[in-house]
Structure 1
Amino acid sequence: MNKRLFVSSPVQVALLKNVLIPEMATGFWKDHRPADHAAQWTDVEIIVSQDSKLGPVDFNVPRLYNFVNPDFIKPNEQLLVAAAQAVKSTSNFRSVKKELIELSRIVGGRLTDANENPTKANRGNNKNGSVQEPTAKTKTAVKKATTAVKKTISKKESGVVTETTSNGATVRRVAVTKASPFDALTGPQTAPEN
């Protein structure tokens, strides 16, 4: 089995081989989980894609890497630019940062075709390109809440309605009649009957 990673530029190859993979083994990502993630990169062939297909072939990337993490990028800025300039002399920090962003997307499986937009990052319960399905816990909570509303007990007593739900909440509703501001001084008036 020949593990390969297809990237979109020679600068990305240089960044991976000269800076990023060594940082996985002995630098910034050294103590990150899983413990053997750096060893999985040792025999990966990094190739510039000739067609539009990008990403790993015949191996799974062991973890997600944020190659533009400020804690990593600031102390290694000169090293990153030097690695890029060895391949492309006009490289500067701004162009290197763009390459690192794209490389994070390729390695993370979010950019698999150079002609397409990257997919959205998976966060929390989001799955690859799918609509988030409610979890079993959420479904249970919604069912419990709707059941509680259905099990409302109502009592009517002289214009006052008292409702008690199954979860213990008590609601009192009092009928309101339209009154005149003068009712407080003279009492409620009734229309004369003819």
Structure 2
Amino acid sequence: MEWRWNAVFLVSFGVVWAAMTTAKPVSSLDPADAETRMLAALEDQYAHDPGNAVLARSLAETYLDLGRPGLAIAALRAGDPANLENPMVAHRLAQAYEASGRVLDAYATADLALARCARALGTADAPSGTPVPRFACDARQHMALSTHQEALGHMLEWGIADPARDARTEVAYDLALRRASIASAR
């Protein structure tokens, strides 16, 4: 009787081991793919120059395009904190927070990015008690930041916890874009 239990245990262990060895790899990236090699090169460049805001933004955009907002957040947080003074880098961080379901963090980051861009432009809504940022911002970027911040404001107001799964996210962006088109038509 005991040898039967040992045999059942051994066969079960063998089946589990065989299933684990034939499992697909965790990474969906093919090392032979040109885009994967480009991403690896971008990661290497950013690792050697973490203070480069252009590389930080490009790496965050790549991670967001791959659907990996957590990696975008980690990369931007691990880099030079001065990179986040750039409104568009902060905007990418806000997008990563939003994609990972952290709407409040996304709103706070988008609000900060908008304030920095407004201060650089000298618009009427710019905070006056802060120094002029060292990164430039143009009117088109200000409108994009404003639209994103407005959409996130709607999401917070409506209590959207997971923007990726809530249909009201699209309505929030539609309302924000409608406001942006009316403002640009003036």
Q: Which has the higher helix share?
A: 2
| TM-score of the aligned structures, taking structure 2 as reference length | 0.23
Q: Which has the higher strand share?
A: 1
| TM-score of the aligned structures, taking structure 1 as reference length | 0.22
